A and B are shown apart, each in its own frame.
Chain A
Amino acid sequence: MAESTTPVTNSKVKWGVAVDLKRCTGCQGCTIACKLENGTPPGVFWTRVIEKEEGTFPLAYKVFMPIRCNHCSDAPCIPVCPSGASYRRANDNLVLIDQDKCIGCGTCVVACPYDVRFMPLSAHGYYGQTKVAFEQTAYEKWQKGTVQKCTLCVHRIDKGLEPACVETCPTKALVFGDLNDSDSQIAKLIRERPHFQPSAELGTDPCLYYLT
């Protein structure tokens, strides 16, 4: 697998996610779908929906914002990694972690502005030291003491499927697609709808667009 540490420039495919904030109801369906698909350990949420209160009484309201690894075009987590475990897949823009190389220093966890990298130090499951059958199978994928994060369900993408969180969203608030393909649904939405990228001022160019 070809690897890269440099920002995305001319890769053919650039996967991204658009989140329609008007559709998201904060049901956490994506959170659970991710847990089931990837079998992440307790306390680890590769994707989650955060709540944000906006406005003031009487015009106060609550906004739900699903967040996950944004697979940034200029990801700050990659250059700081001392072991080369964090890398960008060359044929698309996916930021991935090679667990066999990760030393668990936590530098990338601190470097990520979106707080979406995790380093579970315990091998316990949700029910203590005894893991249930699902956990026994799912946790085999994760090495204790290494960092993990959303892969945008790379195993599903490689099979031509959408990420589990996108597929499960009951209100279709999540839209997944190729940002470089001007005919894709996500590219059209970004063209047509008002939007913003999270913490864009940091220059990370996240492949996540919130449609407002």
Chain B
Amino acid sequence: MIERFTAEQSAQREWAWLLALYLFLGSLGGCLFLLVRLFGLPPSFAVASIGLVVLGGIVVLIKLGSPQRAWRAMSRPTTSWISRGVLCVAGFIVFGCLSVAPSIAALAWLPWNDGTALGIAFAWVAALFALLTTIYPGFVVSSARAISFWNTPLLPLLFFGYAGLAATGAVLIGSSSVPGGVARVVPWTEALIVVNAALSAIYLLVMKRTGGSARESVHRLNQGSLGAVYWIGVVLVGLILPLAALLWLTTAAVLAGACIQIGALLFRYCVLRAGVYYAPATLTPVGMDFSTLTRTSADFAHEYAGMAGNSAPGRR
């Protein structure tokens, strides 16, 4: 509480684990659905992707202060990224279920499937909503102009990159259920690891050079417990270990996929926790202008001359 009574820069406290988990599950589910279409994966992956998005919805309900009014979150799609996201998630769940339903044996009687015009239409609409579900979390975070570490176009790009990486990681985890194996997915995963590592480095470098609260965010991401989570959890476990496993230990695809999930979740957590507000108040770049006070700068200098002399190095 005391930090709210000082002018020190402070990190936001509102968004932490639960929101990180929600952002992770939502974008993972959306992107996994896209990969099902892209790589022709079994329908079980599509069902899992919808399940992940629904799970994300449950997580965010737990996080809400007043979950009984959650339906109101759709009220302002013209200005609020949360509203847009809720509509996208709702659309994805509805059309995703309609698209996947005929592949479930008990629902095979439905009058559409992947071969009919209606089935194809459902699949395309679901894919569109899946894409929007994947990309909107980055915009939710980057739209906060109070936190310059987030308020950059690089962040949605990075979130999208990590969503893609997590989705390929999920395919690796479920590789045993993919006929013909996941050989096609492995190069994509390796490429995404490299791309995300490069994007992260660029992002942190840009934020460090931006200065102010963004620089403070980068500083916090490199020290203390958050620094340990970032460098061990995100970089080592989430990027280096899976890349090494995929390159030199091809039988460890499931382990690599699991590591990627840990890294992708921790990445979102670290970005959220490192979000430092603008300094609550700034006077002037060089401090208060003494000339506006009754006592001028010269008066102060004269008044404290003796004290300054006593403290000067080398004086006795």
Binding site for B on A (CB under 8 A): 5, 21-22, 43, 45, 48-55, 57-59, 61, 63, 65, 67, 76, 78-85, 101-107, 109-115, 119, 121, 143-147, 194, 196, 198-199, 202, 210, 212
Contact A82–B5 (Cβ < 8 Å) = no
Cα A50 to Cα B140 with chains together (Å): 30
Chain A residues whose CB sits within 8 angstroms of the CB of B1 once the complex forms:
43
Chain B residues whose CB sits within 8 angstroms of the CB of A143 once the complex forms:
66
Contact B283–A105 (Cβ < 8 Å) = no
Chain A residues whose CB sits within 8 angstroms of the CB of B183 once the complex forms:
none
Contact B5–A48 (Cβ < 8 Å) = yes
Cα A63 to Cα B288 with chains together (Å): 9
Pull 30 A–B residue pairs with CB atoms less than 8 Å apart, ordered by A: A21-B288, A43-B1, A45-B4, A50-B5, A53-B7, A57-B311, A58-B307, A65-B280, A76-B145, A82-B83, A83-B69, A83-B73, A102-B66, A104-B64, A105-B63, A109-B12, A110-B15, A111-B143, A112-B146, A113-B145, A114-B280, A115-B4, A119-B14, A119-B65, A145-B66, A147-B65, A194-B289, A194-B292, A199-B278, A212-B283
Chain A residues whose CB sits within 8 angstroms of the CB of B278 once the complex forms:
113, 199, 202
Cα A183 to Cα B308 with chains together (Å): 47
Contact B81–A106 (Cβ < 8 Å) = no
Contact A110–B147 (Cβ < 8 Å) = yes
Residue-by-residue, is B252-295 near A (CB-CB < 8 Å gives 1, otherwise 0)? Answer: 00000000000000000000000101111111100111101100
Set B65, B76, B279: member contacting A84, Cβ < 8 A: B76
Main secondary structure of the interface of B (DSSP, over half): loop
Chain A residues whose CB sits within 8 angstroms of the CB of B288 once the complex forms:
21, 54-55, 61, 63, 212
B74: CB under 8 A from chain A? yes
- Which residues of B in the span 82-98 have a Cβ within 8 Å of any Cβ on A? 82-83, 86
Contact A63–B283 (Cβ < 8 Å) = yes
Sample of 17 more A-B contacts, CB < 8 Å, known A5-B79, A51-B6, A107-B80: A43-B1, A50-B280, A50-B281, A59-B297, A61-B288, A67-B281, A78-B79, A80-B80, A102-B69, A103-B70, A103-B73, A105-B65, A107-B140, A111-B143, A146-B65, A210-B281, A212-B283
Q: Nearest chain-A residue to B86 (Cβ)?
A: A82
Chain A residues whose CB sits within 8 angstroms of the CB of B79 once the complex forms:
5, 78-80
Chain A residues whose CB sits within 8 angstroms of the CB of B307 once the complex forms:
58
B304: CB under 8 A from chain A? yes
Q: A79-B80, A80-B82, A103-B69 are in contact. Are A113 and B304 (CB under 8 A)?
A: no
- Whole-angstrom distance between the Cβ of A79 and the nearest chain B Cβ: 4
Cα A101 to Cα B67 with chains together (Å): 11
Chain A residues whose CB sits within 8 angstroms of the CB of B143 once the complex forms:
80, 111
- Whole-angstrom distance between the Cβ of A205 and the nearest chain B Cβ: 13
Cα A63 to Cα B280 with chains together (Å): 13
Contact A51–B64 (Cβ < 8 Å) = no
Q: Nearest chain-B residue to A5 (Cβ)?
A: B79
Q: Nearest chain-B residue to A109 (Cβ)?
A: B14
Q: A67-B280, A110-B12, A115-B4 are in contact. Are A82 and B76 (CB under 8 A)?
A: yes
Cα A52 to Cα B283 with chains together (Å): 9
Chain B residues whose CB sits within 8 angstroms of the CB of A65 once the complex forms:
7, 280-281
Cα A107 to Cα B144 with chains together (Å): 8
Q: Nearest chain-A residue to B277 (Cβ)?
A: A115
Q: Nearest chain-B residue to A42 (Cβ)?
A: B1
Cα A73 to Cα B136 with chains together (Å): 27
B39: CB under 8 A from chain A? no
Q: A54-B288, A58-B311, A212-B292 are in contact. Are A115 and B70 (CB under 8 A)?
A: no
Cα A139 to Cα B23 with chains together (Å): 33
Contact B76–A83 (Cβ < 8 Å) = yes
Q: Nearest chain-B residue to A200 (Cβ)?
A: B282
- Whole-angstrom distance between the Cβ of A21 and the nearest chain B Cβ: 8
Cα A65 to Cα B76 with chains together (Å): 35
Residue-by-residue, is B26-51 near A (CB-CB < 8 Å gives 1, otherwise 0)? Answer: 00000000000000000000000000
B103: CB under 8 A from chain A? no
Chain B residues whose CB sits within 8 angstroms of the CB of A50 once the complex forms:
4-7, 280-281
Q: Nearest chain-A residue to B297 (Cβ)?
A: A59
Q: A48-B5, A103-B69 are in contact. Are A84 and B144 (CB under 8 A)?
A: no
- Whole-angstrom distance between the Cβ of A29 and the nearest chain B Cβ: 14
